[in-house]
């Protein structure tokens, strides 16, 4: 039979084993991303990572007196809640459907536990809060404004929801996103707006493309114009430079020609002065010869024949011949002076032409120089002939040709040819009545010749 002590020991051991089994059975270790809110008879304690009470507890059933507990399990990680195909209206009661996505985090698990009995209930309440905020905000705006300002409306949703979530111990992690907005069944408002926007975008795109093409073409035209202007400027500079060079060369050439012409003018003036002197001097020589001849004609020519008869030429005829000779001499002198003055006036033009033709080995120019020398020689011969006639007291009357030719003919009287010609002259006089009368006046003896 078992004794009482043994029974007591067995009972205590059984109680200990039972307590250990119960502790193992009801002991709970809270997961890292959860928080357990334990509600006892007189207090509420949160268990989990980074919680003051720790992350382990005993989950005694609520029906156990005194130690019984009620447990609410909530996540501490970020969780999402969205509205899909939610029907809404704008300010003008235009129907449309939207999709919204929001992300939350529990900031005060005790407050959250006081508001809901489970996480499912919390999600349901968050959905209701989202729906109320969306209806309130969208109903005060036009559909075009909603379509154009999704990010703005997301911030407005977030602000409205955060203001209410403080009473649930929950807050949003990021701005609520307006994921999509589209027409409700049977409505085409958004489609029409999108078509209008699409056509507007297409129009703007085409306008922008046209403007870009126009800008590109204008840029090309400007570039071509700039290139052409540069080319024209370069050609202009080249033309100006060429003209300047041509001008400078022309000026230098003209200056050289002017210098040559000046020298030609000086040379021509000197040559014409020489010619003038020669012509004037020649005229003076002729005049002196004629004067000498006229003076000699005035005198009485006495021809002695057979020592008895003399022939006297009337002084009046000599005076007449002398006057004619003086007039001819003055006429020759005036013509010579006129030709000289004319030559002086035409010297600049003639000098240019003459110098251009006579420079170099020009036979004509050489002949011209020889002619000048011949004139000088003729001048000296004429002077000497005049002196000889004066000494011989012979008068010369030149009715034809030049005075020089007349003097030459007179000089031939002193030769045998001249004597023969005198005899022929007298024989010719005898054949005319006037000649016979003249010879009769001289003397019968002479007429018989």
Residues 398 and 298 sit within 8 Å (Cβ to Cβ): no
| Greater pLDDT, 251 or 228 | 228
Rg (the chain; Cα; Å): 78
pLDDT band for position 355 (cuts 50, 70, 90): low
Let me know if residue 156 belongs to a domain. yes
Q: Does position 5 have pLDDT exceeding 80, yes or no?
A: no
User: Do residues 153 and 64 share a domain?
Assistant: no
The mean pLDDT of the chain is 76
pLDDT value, residue 395: 59
Give the other-Cβ count within 10 Å of 351's Cβ: 21
Q: Is 202 inside a domain boundary?
A: no
Q: Do both 162 and 281 map to the same domain?
A: no
**Spatial separation of the C-alpha atoms in residues 61 and 26, rounded to whole Å:** 9
pLDDT number for residue 300: 45
Residue 109 sits in the same domain as residue 37: no
Whether 27 and 64 map to the same domain: the answer is: yes
Helix (H, G, I), strand (E, B) or coil at 2: coil
Of 77, 99, 115, the one marking the end of a domain is 77
User: For the chain, what percentages of helix, strand and coil (3-state, to nearest 5) are there?
Assistant: 65, 15, 20
221 located within any domain:
no
Note whether 127 and 173 are same-domain residues. yes
Q: Is residue 254 in some structural domain?
A: no
Q: Which of 114-118, 367-371, 375-379, 444-448 has the lowest mean pLDDT?
A: 444-448
Domain match, 145 and 183 both: yes
pLDDT at 103: 93
Average pLDDT over every residue of 251-272: 83
Residue 389 lies in a domain: yes
Does residue 137 carry a pLDDT above 60? yes
Residues 147 and 62 in one domain: no
State residue 388's pLDDT score.
63
**Per-position b or e across 391-416, b if 16+ CB within 10 A of its CB:** eeebbbbbeeeebbebbbebbeeeee
Residue 219: per-residue pLDDT: 92
Residue 90 has pLDDT above 60, yes or no: yes
Report whether 296 contacts 393 (CB < 8 A): yes
Q: What distance in Å separates the CA atoms of residue 183 and residue 185, rounded to the nearest whole number?
A: 6
pLDDT at 398: 55
Between 32 and 364, the more confident residue is 32
Q: What confidence tier does 252 reach under pLDDT thresholds 50, 70, 90?
A: confident
Under the banding of pLDDT at 50, 70 and 90, the label for residue 218 is very high
Quote the crossing angle between the two packed helices 347-358 and 363-392, to the nearest 10°.
120
Residues 394 and 272 placed together within one structural domain of the fold: yes
Write down the pLDDT at residue 307.
42
Looking up tokens 């991303």, which residue turns up?
33
Strands 56-58 and 70-75: unpaired
Mean pLDDT of all residues in 36-63 = 79
Q: Is the pLDDT of residue 244 over 80?
A: yes
Give the count of domains, the chain: 3
In-domain check, residue 418: no
pLDDT tens digits, one per residue of 401-431:
555 556 566 556 556 666 677 777 777 767 7
Name the strand (E) or helix (H) holding 106. strand 95-106
Domain of 106, CATH number, reads 3.30.479.30
- Phi–psi pair at 102, nearest 5 degrees: -130, 150
Q: Is residue 65 one of the residues assigned to a domain?
A: yes
pLDDT-based confidence at residue 332 (cuts at 50, 70, 90): low
Tell me the average pLDDT across 123-136: 90
Shared domain check, 102 and 141: yes
Domain that includes residue 305, residue range: 266-398
65 and 89 co-located in one domain: no
Q: Are residues 307 and 391 in the same domain?
A: yes
């Amino acid at each position: 039979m078992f004794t009482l002590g043994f029974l007591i020991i067995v009972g205590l051991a059984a109680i200990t084993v039972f307590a250990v089994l119960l502790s193992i059975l009801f002991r709970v270790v809270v997961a890292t991303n959860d928080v357990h809110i334990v509600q006892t008879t007189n207090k509420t304690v949160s268990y989990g990572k980074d919680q003051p009470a720790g992350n382990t507890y005993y989950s005694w059933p609520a029906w156990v007196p005194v130690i019984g507990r009620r447990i609410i399990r909530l996540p501490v990680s970020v969780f999402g809640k969205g509205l899909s195909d939610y029907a809404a209206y704008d300010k003008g009661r235009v129907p449309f459907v939207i999709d919204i996505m929001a992300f939350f985090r529990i900031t005060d698990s005790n407050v959250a536990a006081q508001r809901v009995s489970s996480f499912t209930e919390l999600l349901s309440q968050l959905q209701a809060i989202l729906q109320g905020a969306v209806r309130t905000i969208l109903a005060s705006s036009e559909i075009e404004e909603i379509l154009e300002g999704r990010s703005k409306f997301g911030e407005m949703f977030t602000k409205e929801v955060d203001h209410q979530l403080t009473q649930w111990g929950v807050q949003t992690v990021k701005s609520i996103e307006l994921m999509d907005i589209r027409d409700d069944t049977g409505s085409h408002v958004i489609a029409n707006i999108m078509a209008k926007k699409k056509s507007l975008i297409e129009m703007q795109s085409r306008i922008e493309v046209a403007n870009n093409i126009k800008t590109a073409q204008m840029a090309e035209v400007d570039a071509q114009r700039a290139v052409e202007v540069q080319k024209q400027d370069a050609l202009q500079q080249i033309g100006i430079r060429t003209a300047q060079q041509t001008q400078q060369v022309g000026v230098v050439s003209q200056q050289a020609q002017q210098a040559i012409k000046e020298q030609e003018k000086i040379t021509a003036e000197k040559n014409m002065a020489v010619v003038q002197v020669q012509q004037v001097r020649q005229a003076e020589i002729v005049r002196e010869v004629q004067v000498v001849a006229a003076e000699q004609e005035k005198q009485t020519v006495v021809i002695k024949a057979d020592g008895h008869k003399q022939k006297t030429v009337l002084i009046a005829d000599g005076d007449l011949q002398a006057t004619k000779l003086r007039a001819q001499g003055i006429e020759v002198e005036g013509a010579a002076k006129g030709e000289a003055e004319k030559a002086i006036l035409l010297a600049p033009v003639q000098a240019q032409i003459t110098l251009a033709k006579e420079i170099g080995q020009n036979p004509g120019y050489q002949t011209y120089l020889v002619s000048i020398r011949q004139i000088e020689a003729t001048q000296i011969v004429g002077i000497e002939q005049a002196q000889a006639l004066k000494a011989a007291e012979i008068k010369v009357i030149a009715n034809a040709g030049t005075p020089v030719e007349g003097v030459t003919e007179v000089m031939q009287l002193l030769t045998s040819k001249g004597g023969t010609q005198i005899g022929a002259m007298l024989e010719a006089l005898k054949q005319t009545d006037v000649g016979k009368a003249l010879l009769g006046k001289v003397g019968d003896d002479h007429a018989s010749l």
